[in-house]
Amino acid sequence: MFKDKHQQQGSHGPEDFLRASEPRYDIQHVGARLRAMRIAKGLTVNALAATSQVPASTISKMENGRLQPSLVHAINLAMALGENLGFLVDSFRADPEDIVVVSRSDRSKIDYPELEIGLEDLNGNFHSGVLEARITVMQPGATSGAQPMMHVGDELCHVLEGTVHYEIDGESYELTQGDTLHFKSDQMHSWKNTHDGYTTLLIVFSNGLSF
């Protein structure tokens, strides 16, 4: 079993990751960065709302540190601002490095409770904007939401454990352990954990729009 295998290696299983006490995520800092980016682009809250299709009231709550962005809102805001979604992680890469080693214990973590997934950042303090890699842990039955998503660039998904079902531009793809899917992510796509337990994925994005 997946959990036993990780225990033999002296690390944690997916259940432990999703029960982590405090993900390294600070909505106060996210809000401040979101406001700074919006102002730098010369946008009002209402203008950003119109461009991103995220309600102005929701943007205001994010900027005031009263709301964690949902994944779909985060993608839409990043695309509207032309920014990398790395600004949502507390360890924002203000001083990027050319060579980075990220130990398992030092990975930045973020949870998206509405999607029942948790993410681990594999890039550390490396330069953002070319490749972004995440370990994604999906709870049983986790889905990408009611509406498909899209964003610029490529997306590569490799299944480390479990099963995931993708819908991409009307086509269905069922991936099991060891399978890899690579697609242009400007196509409408969605996913669902179809395994009866946790599913763990390695996901790599290009063009800097990641989560």
CB 6 within 8 A of CB 13: yes
**pLDDT score at 84:** 66
Q: Which residue has the higher pLDDT, 11 or 15?
A: 15
Backbone angles phi, psi at 7, to 5 degrees: -65, -35
User: What are the start-end ranges of the E strands in 47-187?
Assistant: 109-112, 117-121, 131-138, 154-161, 163-168, 171-176, 180-184
Query: What one-letter code names the amino acid at 165?
Result: H
Beta-carbon contacts of residue 211 (< 8 Å; ≥ 6 apart): 71, 74, 75, 85, 88, 110, 112, 119, 134
Beta-carbon contacts of residue 84 (< 8 Å; ≥ 6 apart): 78, 128, 129, 132, 208, 209, 210
Q: By percentage, how much of the chain surpasses pLDDT 70?
A: 79
**pLDDT score at 140:** 96
CB 15 within 8 A of CB 198: yes
**pLDDT score at 88:** 55
Query: What one-letter code names the amino acid at 166?
Result: Y
Q: pLDDT tens digits, residue range 166-182? A: 999 999 999 999 999 99
What domains lie within the chain, and their CATH numbers?
2-23+95-206 (2.60.120.10), 27-88 (1.10.260.40)
Q: Which two tokens stand for residue 2?
A: 């997946």
Q: Which of 123, 38, 113, 64 is nearest to 89 (CA)?
A: 123
**pLDDT band (50, 70, 90) for residue 15:** low
Q: By percentage, how much of the chain surpasses pLDDT 90?
A: 41
Q: pLDDT tens digits, residue range 65-83? A: 888 777 778 878 888 887 7
Q: pLDDT tens digits, residue range 116-149? A: 998 888 988 887 767 889 999 999 999 988 888 8
**pLDDT score at 208:** 57
Buried b (16+ CB within 10 A) or exposed e, 98-134: eeeebeeeebbbbbbeebbbbbbbbbbbbebbebbbb
**pLDDT score at 145:** 82
pTM of the predicted structure, to 2 decimals: 0.73
Q: pLDDT tens digits, residue range 42-64? A: 999 999 999 998 999 999 998 99
pLDDT of 90 > 90? The answer is no
